Amino acid sequence: QAGPLLQQALRLLERTGGDEDPGGLAMALHGLAAVYTREGRYPEALSHFERALEIWKRTSDNQGLARGLKNLAVVYGLTGRRAEAEALFLRALALAESSFEPTHPFMDEVLSAYATLLRRTGRKAEAKELEKRALNIREKHVPRDDQSTIDINALRPDKRR
């Protein structure tokens, strides 16, 4: 359902040339690209991510640029362009480290996505290091004693009192 709404928003923003709200235009492009990625429509996703990246470069929005680079890297990885994906992940990570706090949830996102690519390319030791960093960040945002976590073993009949 998000796709049609994002397409409509994109059309409205494009009518004005995006000059009044370039950030909004970039976000609409980025959101629609994410929808296309989930739907497996990779050529369309790539096109929209690339357009959003151009806007973020032009407006010096480093946080948007880091997000766009990470998501473009994911699509490159999904389409077999692993060397290009890795280069983009490295750029996204460098930008994220300079634009976000070290424990910002986006750091977890980029580290986890990059680790996934490394695992797919057989570089498990490197992936594991990134996953540890991501987990440390995640744990700062979700305490271990979070009550939304259920111990499945406690539900076993032989463990009930």
**Entry pTM:** 0.80
80-138: per-residue pLDDT in tens? 999 999 999 999 999 999 999 999 999 999 999 999 999 999 999 999 999 999 999 99
DSSP labels for the chain?
Answer: -HHHHHHHHHHHHHHTTT-S-HHHHHHHHHHHHHHHHHTT-HHHHHHHHHHHHHHHHHTT-HHHHHHHHHHHHHHHHHTT-HHHHHHHHHHHHHHHHHHS-TT-HHHHHHHHHHHHHHHHTT-HHHHHHHHHHHHHHHHHHS-TT-TT---GGGGSGGG--
pLDDT reported for residue 8: 73
22-74: per-residue pLDDT in tens? 888 898 899 999 999 999 999 999 999 999 999 999 999 999 999 999 999 99
pLDDT reported for residue 125: 97
pLDDT reported for residue 2: 66
| Half-sphere exposure for 75 (CA within 13 Å, toward CB) | 24
